[in-house]
Amino acid sequence: MARPKRTPLEIVRAAAEVWDGEQEVGYLARMFTQTSLPYRDPGDVPAWGRRNGDLSLTVQPGMTTDINNKPVSIGYPYGTMPRLILTFLSTEAVRTGSPEVVLGDSLTDFMAAMGLAATGGKNGSLTRMRNQSHRLFNATLTIEYKGDLNRRIGAKLYVASAYNIWCGAESEDGHPSLFTSTVRLSDEFFNEVTSHPVPLDMNAIKALGGSALRLDIYAWLTYRMFSVKRETTIPWESLMVQFGSAADSSDRRRRHQFRRDFTEALKQVLVVYPQANVDTNEAGVVLRPGLPHIPMSPGFRALAR
């Protein structure tokens, strides 16, 4: 069962908490503000990809061996859970300066830190958290930038080089176990996060939870608000390749549906991030220089670029 999506009224109420409270600063690796993981399970395919201009992200699922000694796919990380996990891990890496991240004494502690309620059962949030974290920590990510015909820049990385997620002794309601769950970030991912961190408002992340598209738009918009130098229109076709599906971009009905879904999600993002200087028109989304959601010093701006 997917996490229930928040209604516009619930988002407004959550936004009021964002406005009234102090900003809780979090971070996300820059690569995930420019590209994104799948929204839905891609299924049994060898690889899945997403492109944003000259930047591309390719995801390959990890493998494990079943009881019959047969290699089987662990599956792709998808939806809101891996996005929230990545934000938590990125935040802790920047905050502590260490690749060793403590998740807590229970999955309930971990989920509470991300603003999620822990529910038991086969389709509960605890089961989905275990499943999605397993998928995320075993997936291979390939990031590549193609600037011109003569140069390509790329890296292949794992989010985690090691993990110890204690599930066995935890009850369905998430009561603490006797062990602490930890994740050790890979050197490549840790360096990416700490070299190019993009600050986010964690209260906004919690307010927008329940929709992977809203989370992606918020992270992208936060990054673009301090990187855009002049009025820039992002065509709907380009946005569909980045946030939707390149395969569907030639289908008029699907293009219309994407535009409607994106516009609605953007409206909800702007409820919690009204400072964003953005509009939509027939051509696409218009970005103008504006304020990032988290004020940044010149030195930090240089890091996030």
178-200 pLDDT, tens digit each: 568 899 999 999 999 999 999 99
Indicate whether 1 belongs to any domain.
no
Indicate whether 191 belongs to any domain.
yes
Residue-wise pLDDT for 39-77, tens only, equals: 999 999 999 999 999 999 999 999 999 999 999 999 999
What is the rounded CA–CA span in Å between residue 4 and residue 210?
A: 6
Indicate whether 88 belongs to any domain.
yes
Higher-pLDDT residue of 110 and 293 is 293
Indicate whether 285 belongs to any domain.
no
The tally of domains found in the chain comes to: 1
- % of the chain residues with pLDDT over 70: 83
Helix/strand/coil for 65: strand
What pLDDT score was predicted for residue 80?
95
* Structural domain for 165, as ranges: 31-195
Indicate whether 266 belongs to any domain.
no
Helix/strand/coil for 43: coil
Q: Which of 95-99, 213-217, 224-228 has the lowest mean pLDDT?
A: 224-228
Model's pTM, two decimal places?
0.87
Average pLDDT over residues 72-97: 96
For the chain, give the mean pLDDT. Answer: 85
The pLDDT of residue 18 is above 60: no
Task: Return the residue matching tokens 């993002």.
Answer: 269
What pLDDT score was predicted for residue 291?
85
The pLDDT of residue 227 is above 60: yes
Indicate whether 123 belongs to any domain.
yes
Indicate whether 233 belongs to any domain.
no
Indicate whether 17 belongs to any domain.
no
Backbone angles phi, psi at 48, to 5 degrees: -135, 140
For residue 184, the surrounding DSSP H or E stretch is: strand 181-185
Average pLDDT over residues 242-271: 86
Residue 21: band (very low, low, confident or very high) from pLDDT cuts 50, 70, 90: low
**Closest Cα to residue 176, out of 113, 102, 106?**
106
